[in-house]
Amino acid sequence: MPEKIETALVCYTQTSFENLQADELDYEPEESTDFSRIPKLAERIAEALRLAGVDSDIVKVPQRSLEARDVAKAAFAWRLLDLKESNGRKIDLIICLDFPAWSLNHPQKLCWLDMLPNFVTRRRSGQPPTSPANGQSVEFINNVNSLLQAERRGLAEAWRVMAGSRPIAEEIARSGLQSEFNPFPPLELTATSPEWQTVIKRVLNWNGR
């Protein structure tokens, strides 16, 4: 990791895996999430990074629909992207805000979570394994299960994982993954606010321990 982060990219998907309908995932989400927050968070993070002296920009990959196969295609597209450098300049830090964006492969990939991953919500709800008897095809079930595995793998291989709220940090810990608690400030606050500058400072100040 460079001593000083000079370049960063904030990444998110046009739609999110957690945005799939409950009947498509065969479980009822326990919380409702405002998915319009993610683009706003990306803008605020990129702006706060620039104020901190980091050359930053936003990268997003569109997702054609909310069907499992299209989510898988988006995840594959993220995996194929090589964002280690841009225009001949090395990218020091990648910040991923959702799945499938955190399928991206980068040595300094930071996943900053504003919502619980689906593999966590399925475990927490105690949902039994999906059965083809409920009318779903085996292929569809396998696609969803593969996405859940890819979701967990993307987090597990991240250089750092940050939880944007205390409940997310606690649930991530119960799932056997380590995360740092770095809460998102209210979006009503500007990037120049002390709250946003504090959380960005935590992102940039990393001692490797």
The pLDDT tens digits of the residues spanning 61-98 come to 988 876 777 888 888 899 999 999 988 889 999 999 98
pLDDT of 108 over the 90 cut = yes
Residue 20 confidence (pLDDT): 45
> For residue 96, which of 81, 114, 111 has the smallest C-alpha distance?
111
User: How deeply is 139 buried, as exposed, middle or buried, from its count of CB atoms within 10 A (0-12, 13-18, 19+)?
Assistant: exposed
pLDDT tens, residue by residue, 183-201: 999 999 999 999 999 999 9
AA letter at 103: S
Residue 65 DSSP label = -
C-alpha 37/C-alpha 31 separation (Å) is: 15
Q: In the structure encoding, which two tokens stand for residue 186, read together?
A: 């209210």
Give me the DSSP letters along 168-194. Answer: HHHHHHHTT---EE-PPPPTTS-TTSH
pLDDT tens, residue by residue, 130-163: 444 455 555 555 666 777 888 888 888 899 999 9
C-alpha 157/C-alpha 155 separation (Å) is: 5
**What's the alpha-carbon Rg for the chain, to the nearest Å?**
17
Q: In the structure encoding, which two tokens stand for residue 55, read together?
A: 């050359």
CB contact set of 11 (below 8 Å; sequence gap of 6+): 42, 58, 59, 60, 61, 78, 83, 94, 95, 96, 97, 101, 104
Residue 178 confidence (pLDDT): 86
Residue for token digits 């597209």?
77
